[in-house]
Amino acid sequence: MDSKKLDAQSGHEFTLTAIIPALAGANLIYGVGMLDSALTWDYASAYLQNEFIDMVLRVVNGIQITDETLAMDVIREVGPAGEFITHEHTYKHFKKLSNPKLMDRSNRENWEAAGSRDIAELSYEKSLDVLKNYKPKPRAEKVQKELDGIYAEYTQVVAERKRKKAAA
């Protein structure tokens, strides 16, 4: 991303950087949190881009078609010219397709009443909260043992290389 700060340009650049390879089948999204041609890393950009990644993955993974999501029983119940917005099924499922934590979907009046913060301000606020208050869940004992084993093997290899280099 070439943008120098978290702004519309950085959002656009990241979205293109993420969506095009994802649609082509790539299994890695590059550049999370990067700004200024990767010379700067920004925690708030990473926080916001995490939300973008959720949306990209939702597009790439498509809409799941099941009996529950098709809701043929609801279609029959509502009938021709009926409306689905107020139906219990709609309420139960609509947030599964998109439930952003940063993008503001309220009307202008509510947005202004909440302080008129833009997405960059909100991203900095939320990411600072994570940095200050996040408590990670401990790893499962089996996973931690495996990681400890990998690290022990790595340190052994490094020590062996240093010993060979010193002997040479």
For residue 17, the model assigns a pLDDT of 92
80-96 pLDDT, tens digit each: 989 998 999 988 888 77
In a domain, 106, yes or no: yes
In a domain, 122, yes or no: yes
Higher pLDDT, 98 or 157: 157
Among 58-67, 96-105, 137-146, the range of highest mean pLDDT: 137-146
pTM of the model: 0.73
Distance CA 34, CA 2 (A): 9
Phi and psi at 150, nearest 5°, equal -65, -45
In a domain, 159, yes or no: yes
Q: 154 and 131 in one domain?
A: no
Q: 149 and 129 in one domain?
A: no
Q: 54 and 15 in one domain?
A: yes
Task: Using pLDDT thresholds of 50, 70 and 90, give the confidence band for residue 99.
Answer: confident
In a domain, 95, yes or no: no
How many domains does the chain contain in total? 2
Range of the domain at 124: 8-62+100-135
Tokens of 19: 């969506």
**What residues does 35 pair with on adjacent strands?**
40
* C-beta neighbour count of 72 within 10 angstroms: 8
**Average pLDDT estimate for 31-48:** 95
Q: 55 and 18 in one domain?
A: yes
Q: 128 and 157 in one domain?
A: no
Distance CA 125, CA 117 (A): 10
Q: Select from 103, 121, 118 the least CA-distant residue to 15.
A: 103
Residues recorded for the chain: 168
Q: 53 and 22 in one domain?
A: yes
34: three-class secondary structure by DSSP: strand
